[in-house]
Amino acid sequence: MGIQAGIVGASGFAGIELTRRLIEHPSFDLAVITSDADAGKPLAEVYPCFTGMSDLVFAQRDTPELQQCDVVFLAVPHTVALGIVPGLLAAGISVFDLSADYRLKNPTTYEHWYGVRHTSPELLPEAAFGLPELCPDEIERATQKHVAGDPVLVACAGCYPTASSLAAYPAVHADITTGMVNIQAVSGVTGAGRKATARTHYCAATENIEAYGASGHRHTPEIEQILGLPGQVVFVPHLAPLERGLLSTVTMQLKGHAAALYDVEKLQNLYEDFYHNSAFVSVLPAGEMPRTSSVVGTNRAHVGVAYQERRRTLIASCAIDNLGKGAADQAVQCANLVFGLPETEGLNTVAVPL
């Protein structure tokens, strides 16, 4: 029998992607899925793609079955996880939280951007930040804890922070950039959630691109935390007519000495070296820029590098699936690592081509 797993909030977009992944996962047994809105309904009724593939039924969030799980994935809205995590940990259950509630190490920053008091700041120091490629120590710490028999809390990175940081980090880490990290990103409509709103109406979203949150988006401090550059990130997200997919394009100026040392080939090498051992992040060949469609439905990230030499400006672009590497799949990757499974188990699929 495999590791017993549950998903809270399984009928949302990230939750249902988790459901798909865990149903097909060799080591996790998906035993419980909950949904406040769809409790009592069969999974296949709410999402017909599961017809003939699963007999799971959505349960209430307070179902006692959740207590039988070894691990619970939370795919609930921000601020809701605050009310769930402490109880699960107290019951000895490991938690992989897709919400933002335990990502920011500084509770004051959280409270500023999310507008609520953080009710369990004591968990923040031990929560592991889940972005294995850039924060391996965090996952390693959680893994040790799991080995020691303790439940772990992993706060998986957000979608925009994941793509933006994967694009910017190798250069920032090499300390060759100066000034603001300018990030513009574009997300598909799943990023706006499953709720039917004026904004997610097909006729509002199709044939339209627009910026939002331009005066300050709450993923900014998360990116700054990952990059270790407080106050140095300008981040502007956009909504585009895609179902899934997220592209983040970062422009950064090189420091004077770095501009003397680096050309486009050396920058390409810098990125290739950095991700050389990564199972999921690929640096595309020189001159290629990533396409979101190449990674949709997967945990993969594609990174492309360009350099405008006369302007000493490095451009790095990263494509992910906002629900894959940006949410559900990254959580599974973290869980694989913490539970001592192969990092790619259940995730080693190719995007549906085209």
DSSP bridge pairs for 304: 317
Tokens matching residue 59: 């349960």
Which CB atom, from 50 or from 169, has the smaller least distance to its own copies? 50
Out of 6, 17, 128, 226, name the contact with its own copies by CB under 8 A.
17
Count of residues touching its own copies (by CB under 8 A) = 96
Cα 345 to chain centroid, rounded: 17
**Looking at 69, 135, 156, 159, which residue is catalytic?**
159
Query: Between 121 and 213, whose beta carbon lies closer to its own copies?
Result: 213
- Looking at the Cβ atoms of 174 and 264, the one nearer to its own copies is 264
Verify binding: residue 266, its own copies, rule CB under 8 A: no
The span from the CA of 188 to the CA of 167, in Å, is 18
Taking CB under 8 A as the rule, which mask of x and - marks residues 289-318 in contact with its own copies?
xxxxxxxxxx-x-x-x-xxx-xx-x-x-x-
Binding residue for its own copies (CB under 8 A) from 1, 52, 125, 175?
52
Q: Which amino acid is at 221?
A: P
**What is the separation of C-alpha 34 from the centre of its chain, rounded to a whole number of angstroms?**
21
Give the whole-angstrom CA distance, residue 188 versus residue 155: 23
Of the candidate residues 27, 63, 119, 200, the single one contacting its own copies (CB under 8 A): 200
Q: Which of 2, 26, 40, 45 binds its own copies (CB under 8 A)?
A: 45
Q: Restricting to residues 215-254, name those near its own copies by CB under 8 A.
A: 215-216, 231-234, 236, 238, 240-245, 247, 249, 251, 253
Region binding its own copies by CB under 8 A among candidate stretches 69-77, 90-98, 146-154, 284-292: 284-292
Residues 6+ apart with CB under 8 A from 78: 99, 100, 101, 114
Q: Tell which residue, 15, 5, 331, 351, has the closest CA to residue 158.
A: 331
Q: Report whether 58 contacts 41 (CB < 8 A).
A: yes
Q: Is 349 in the site for its own copies (CB under 8 A)?
A: yes
Asked if 138 and 129 count as a contact pair (C-beta separation under 8 A), the reply is: yes
Q: Using CB under 8 A, which residues numbered 155 to 194 contact its own copies?
A: 179-180, 182, 184, 186, 188-190, 194
Report the C-alpha gap between 227 and 232 in whole angstroms. Answer: 9
**Would you call 159 a catalytic residue per the annotation?**
yes
Looking at this protein, which amino acid is placed at residue 326?
G
Which residues are catalytically annotated?
159
